[in-house]
Every structure is written in C-alpha cells, then in structure tokens.
C-alpha cells in the first residue's frame, strides 16, 4: 500500500500543496504513544526522531546522525529521499520548503503536533522571502487515511510518595508561584508531561517507556487546573483535590485559554513557545506572552538529596540484574544466542528487582555491523545470532520507583582485532576522563565535552551524537536542560550550567560503518567538591555500577591514572554487588573486575 499516494489524494481534496508531518505528540514528547506515530505510519521510518515533508511530486525525511543508517535501510524501497540533518550541503527543512513554496500555495499540518516556535520562525522566513503562502494549521490528514489508528492512551495515574520524590507537591507549587510572582505573570501554561508529573508528584503509563500522564496544566496564583482523561485520575482525585487541583477534560484547555487571556487584563502569561503546540499558541495570540523556559525544568533537573540517594539505590538494583545477565551471557555466548535473546534476558533479570516498573526506552541491542547504527533495535526480521568475534553493543535502561537508569556496555563476543581493542580503549579513556572531571562552577556541558572526545580526536575519530543528556527521576530518560555536547544550542537552548544534583549520561562512542559500534555509558551526578580562594569546585560521582569488559581493553594504551580509575571503579562494583550473588556469580564477578 502506497501511503504517500494516499496522503497526496487527501492533500488534493483539501487543496494542500505541502504537508508537514513531525514526530511530536501534542506535548513535544520524545517518545510518543502509538496514536501519534503518523510519521512512522506514512513513511515506514521507525526511529524516534524525524520529520516528513510531502509535496505533490516529492517526499523527504529529515533525521539526525543517530538514525542515518537505519533510515537509509527503512526508506530504500520508497520514493522518500533521506536528508541527513546538519550534514554539509544538506538543506534544512525550512530551506527545502522555502525553495518549493510559491505564491498562493497552501502549507498544511496538524498544529497540535507542531511546536509553536518552529511555525513562527517558518512564517517569518516565508514573509521575508516576499511569498504569499496560506498556512492551514488545523488539518490532521492522517485521520482520513489511518483507518485502524489506535485510541488515545488512558492509563491509571498514581501518586509518587515523598519517600521517593523528596518534596511535597504543595512545596513545589509554592516554589513555582514564588517564581511566577517574581516574573509578575498572571498565569503559567505547562504542556510538557514531565514538568506536570514532577510538579504534582504523579506518574502514569500513557507513553511507552515514559511513566507520564497525557495532560496540560494551567497555574495562577489562586488556581491550578489539570486537563486530562478524567478516568485516568479517578483513583487519585482526592489527592489532587487535597492539593487544590481542579480536573477538567483533556481538550477543554483550548476553550479555557481565551478566557484566561480576558481575565489576565494585560498581565503576561508564562509559556515556553519552544514547547507548547501551535494551536495552543494561537489561543494565546491576543494576550501578552512571556516566552521563557518553564521554571520547573531546572527545578526538576536539580535532584534533591532524597532523589539522589534513591537513584543510587536504583543503580544498585540495576547493577545486580546486569551482573547476573553478564554471568548468563558468559555461559551462553557460544550457544547461538541472538540480539533479542539478550534483550529478553536483561528484561527478565530487571523484572525480578523490587520496585521495577518498566524499561526506560526500547532496548538497543546491536551485534557486529548493527552496532554502527547508533540506535538500532532488533525485531524478528532483523534479529541476528552472535558469532565468536566482534562486539555486541547493549544500551538499555529501566524505571524503578527509586529512579531511572540508562547504561551502555559493549561486550567482546570472541577474539578481537587490534583495531577493535584500540578503539574500545579510546572510548573507555573518554568515559574515565569525563567521570573523573573536577571543574569550576559555571561550566556547561559544552566546556566538558572535549574530555570525552579528546582521545578519539587525537586518532582522527569521533561520534555523531552528544556525549551526555540529562536523565529524569522516573520520568523521561532524556531530560533537559543539562547536556554534554560541543554543539551549542540557540537562544533559550544554550548549554545549561551543570548544577549540583543534575544527573547526566556519560556516553562516548565510535561507530565503524559496516563493521561494529562501541559505546560506554554511565550515569553521573554533579556534586559539590570544595570551595576555596580559587573558586567553587564541582565533581561527578558515577551512579552506574556495572563492570567494563576488561577483555576488550588494550591495557598498554592506559596511563597509570586511568588504570587506577578503572581498578577503583571495579573494586567498588565488586564490593557493592557481590553480597547479592550466589557463589558461582561471585567467582565470575571477581574475575571480570580483577585488577589490571
């Protein structure tokens, strides 16, 4: 079935010349529920990031470096052209559309799935080009094509008690209102699901891999309104009433925002136009908007003492499960195990841990050449058996009541070549260097990124993704504003200062197309180190408690300090995990954490 052709038939019916399909849901979420996977349904590309543009005679898909190889494979039998975003000579989405748009053409999209700022910027560019183009922002053409489209999700929400959150919702709301008062705004619109979940201390299961509730929230100095599927919060309705939260139907916010504008009497409404969708923005258009990052974004990123202690507990559980998996892997590597076998075994071991909820993202299990596809996930069609050579890259994570984990280990499946060992060691050197960083307060991830890449750069190697992303507490595995990457964002998205309590991934890698991929990822938390005459110094503490593969290391490439860091790390892993293992597993752990 040619869904591009079906889409064009519907475009003609609505007189639309170019149709824009992003990956987003109505909340700018990274992972989206099945109901929102329109781009995947139309294009066949299954990656978690990408944009599809369809004209009457062209179709193009833009995605980032994590998905180049995957998209190339999944689009090969279609007319869709792959545009490798941010690569030299590749037009941006806006550049592509501006070169195709002509006077009196109509550009269409579902404005609920479009971030407001992207549409505002596109409109400005069209006007600057002197073109007269009509934009239709309320058309979901997929509704006329996708006959068996899944329903909107509606899971039961639950309360995250203070023993896990470390702060009451009442206290968080008070902190938010204090900030709103400082900014002299009448109200605040929050549409990002993790910000809402954090503020109210609630979680749900409306999005796979992200335990969040599909919802919107408005806050004034006297009123809080949660817009959601009311059945989803029926079990926690008394709790919500107890913290003075009014509950309304999910879509009612589109009717209520114009009323808020009238009541505000000219005072600004705080909203992040890089997060709210375009249709909501249009409802606010007649009011005054204070465009800034949601205050809750930084608040939730700076984990409190309870959250950090709980995250450490979550990583102990994850470490126990992972070492048990490694023992199984060692026993079965020669018996013809597959990528999916590994994914299933890791899930099995994690599921045995008390407080386990679900995986924090789709397991990335990539043997051999699959490892060069940065975010490859096997299915029944692509699943392959491991051989007694090369690497298997394993990037997985979990949600526990105590927090969220994200870990990558690359394991040798047999005898390695010198190149493979050397490249593994270069990646390890980067991981050790970043984890060992001591730095002055005020630095951002852009300042720190070189620590992870330096060893690779000296050999003319690199990786086409960031070194680190923030990690939420039982929320999104990818969380802002903290990140570690050398490319600077723009405007509000400039790299954030690394603050105490922020948890960030440390994941350098290298990917050799057609051969293998290597990535080593720990989670690190920023902590105060000391304050002296030279300034305020920070450091990282590694939360992940899982051995690296000693058999994959070229030990001659490590200096004495790096050997000490690796030995100390493995000694700590052994000390913490060993009490939870049986005798055979302990012997195995002793062997794989031996001093080098």
Q: What is the DSSP string of 226-273?
A: EEE-GGGGGGGHHHHHHTTEEEEEGGGHHHHHHHHHHHHTT--EEE-T
pLDDT, one tens digit per residue, over 201-237 is: 999 999 989 999 999 999 999 999 999 999 999 999 9
**Cα radius of gyration rounded to whole Å, the chain:** 25
Domain 302-593 has CATH 3.90.230.10: yes
b/e string for 346-372 if b means 16 or more Cβ within 10 A? bbebbeebebbbbbbbbbbbbbbbbbb
Check if 3-144 and 158-300 are the same fold.
Answer: yes
What is the model's pLDDT at position 67? 83
- 210: helix, strand or coil: strand
Backbone angle region of 535, left / alpha / beta, with phi > 0 → left and psi within -120 to 50 → alpha: left
Sign for the CA dihedral angle at 398, 402, 407, 409 comes to: negative
| Three-class SS state of 477 | coil
- Residue 242 phi/psi, 5° resolution? -65, -25
CA distances 227 to 32, 217, 250, 296, Å, are 18, 6, 4, 18
Give residue for tokens 């841990």.
353
The confidence score (pLDDT) of residue 340 equals 97
Residue 65 confidence (pLDDT): 79
Strand order in the sheet with 106-108: 81-84, 59-63, 51-55, 18-21, 106-108, 134-136
Q: Please state the domain extents for the chain.
A: 3-144, 158-300, 302-593
Whole-number Cα distances in Å, 569 to 283, 439, 502: 54, 20, 21
Torsion over CA of 580, 581, 583 and 585, rounded to 10 degrees?
A: -160
Strands 516-519 and 18-21: unpaired
In CATH terms, 3-144 corresponds, of 2.30.30.170, 3.20.20.70, 3.90.1150.10, 3.40.350.10, to 3.40.350.10
Residue 562, CA distances (Å) to 463, 544, 569 in order: 21, 18, 11
First to last CA, the chain: 57
pLDDT tens digits, 54-80 = 999 999 999 987 788 889 989 999 999
CATH 3.40.350.10 corresponds to the domain 158-300: yes
Whether residue 203 contacts residue 213, with contact meaning beta carbons closer than 8 Å, is answered with yes
Please state, in angstroms and rounded to a whole number, the distance separating the CA atoms of residues 287 and 269: 8
Backbone dihedral angles phi then psi of residue 214, each to the nearest 5 degrees:
-65, 110
User: Mean pLDDT in each 10-residue stretch from start to end of the chain (596 residues)?
Assistant: 90 96 93 93 91 96 87 92 92 94 95 95 93 93 94 95 98 98 97 98 94 97 97 97 98 95 91 96 89 96 98 98 98 95 98 97 95 88 94 98 98 97 98 98 96 98 95 96 86 79 98 97 98 97 98 98 98 98 98 97
Of 509, 386, 401, 488, the closest CA to residue 446 belongs to 488
Residue 223, pLDDT score = 96
Residues 346 and 323: their CA atoms lie apart, in Å, by 10
SS3 523: strand
Helix (H, G, I), strand (E, B) or coil at 391: strand
Please tell me whether the peptide bond between 481 and the residue prior to it is cis, using omega within 30 degrees of 0.
yes
């Amino acid at each position: 079935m040619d869904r591009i052709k079906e889409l064009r038939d519907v475009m003609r019916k609505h007189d639309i010349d170019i149709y824009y399909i992003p990956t987003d849901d109505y909340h700018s979420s990274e992972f989206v529920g099945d109901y929102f996977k329109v781009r995947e349904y139309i294009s066949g590309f299954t990656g978690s990031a990408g944009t599809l543009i369809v004209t009457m005679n062209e179709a193009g898909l833009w995605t980032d470096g994590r998905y180049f190889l995957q998209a190339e494979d999944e689009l090969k039998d279609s007319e869709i052209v792959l545009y490798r975003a941010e690569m030299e000579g590749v037009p941006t989405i806006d550049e592509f559309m501006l070169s195709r748009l002509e006077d009196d053409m109509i550009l269409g999209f579902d404005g609920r799935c479009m971030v407001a700022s992207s549409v505002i910027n596109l409109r400005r560019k069209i006007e600057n080009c002197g073109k007269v183009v009509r934009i239709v922002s309320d058309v979901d053409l997929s509704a006329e094509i996708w006959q068996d489209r899944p329903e909107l999700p509606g899971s039961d929400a639950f309360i995250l008690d203070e023993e896990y959150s470390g702060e009451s919702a009442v206290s968080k709301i008070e902190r938010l209102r204090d900030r709103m008062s400082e900014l002299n705004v009448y109200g605040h619109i929050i549409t990002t699901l993790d910000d809402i979940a954090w503020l109210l201390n609630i979680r749900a299961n409306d999005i796979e891999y992200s335990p969040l509730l599909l919802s919107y929230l408005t806050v004034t100095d006297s009123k809080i309104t949660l817009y959601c599927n009311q059945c989803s919060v029926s079990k926690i309705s008394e709790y919500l009433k107890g913290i003075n939260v009014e509950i309304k139907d999910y879509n009612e916010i589109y009717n209520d925002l114009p009323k808020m504008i009238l009541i505000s009497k000219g005072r600004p409404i705080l909203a992040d136009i890089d997060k709210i969708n375009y249709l909501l923005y249009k409802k606010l258009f007649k009011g005054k908007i204070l465009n800034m990052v949601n205050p809750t974004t930084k608040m939730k990123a700076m984990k409190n003492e309870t959250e950090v202690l709980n995250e450490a507990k979550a990583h102990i559980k994850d470490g126990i499960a992972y070492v048990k998996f490694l023992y199984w892997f060692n026993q079965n590597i020669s018996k013809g195990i597959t990528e999916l076998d590994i994914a299933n075994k890791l899930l099995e071991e994690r599921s045995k841990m008390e407080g386990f909820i679900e995986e924090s993202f789709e397991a990335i299990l990539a043997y051999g050449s699959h490892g060069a596809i940065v975010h490859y996930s096997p299915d029944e069609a692509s699943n392959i058996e491991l051989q007694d050579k090369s690497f298997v890259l394993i990037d997985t994570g979990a949600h526990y009541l105590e927090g969220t984990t994200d870990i990558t280990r690359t394991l040798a499946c047999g005898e390695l070549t010198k190149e493979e060992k050397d490249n593994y060691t270069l990646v390890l050197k980067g991981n050790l260097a970043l984890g060992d960083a001591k730095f002055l307060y005020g630095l951002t991830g852009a300042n720190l990124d070189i620590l992870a890449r330096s060893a690779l750069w000296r050999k003319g190697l690199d990786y086409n993704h960031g070194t680190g992303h923030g990690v939420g507490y039982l929320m999104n595995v990818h969380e802002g504003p903290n990140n570690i990457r050398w490319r600077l964002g723009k405007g509000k998205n400039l790299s954030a200062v690394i603050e105490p309590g922020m948890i960030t991934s440390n994941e350098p890698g290298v990917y050799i197309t057609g051969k293998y991929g290597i990535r080593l990822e720990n989670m690190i938390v920023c902590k105060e180190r000391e304050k002296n005459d030279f300034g305020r110094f920070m450091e990282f503490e590694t939360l992940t408690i899982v051995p690296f593969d000693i058999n994959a290391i070229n030990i001659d490439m490590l200096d004495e300090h790096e050997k000490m860091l690796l030995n100390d790390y493995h000694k700590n892993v052994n000390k913490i995990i060993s009490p939870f293992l049986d005798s055979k597993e302990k012997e195995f752990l002793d062997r794989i954490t031996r001093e080098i």
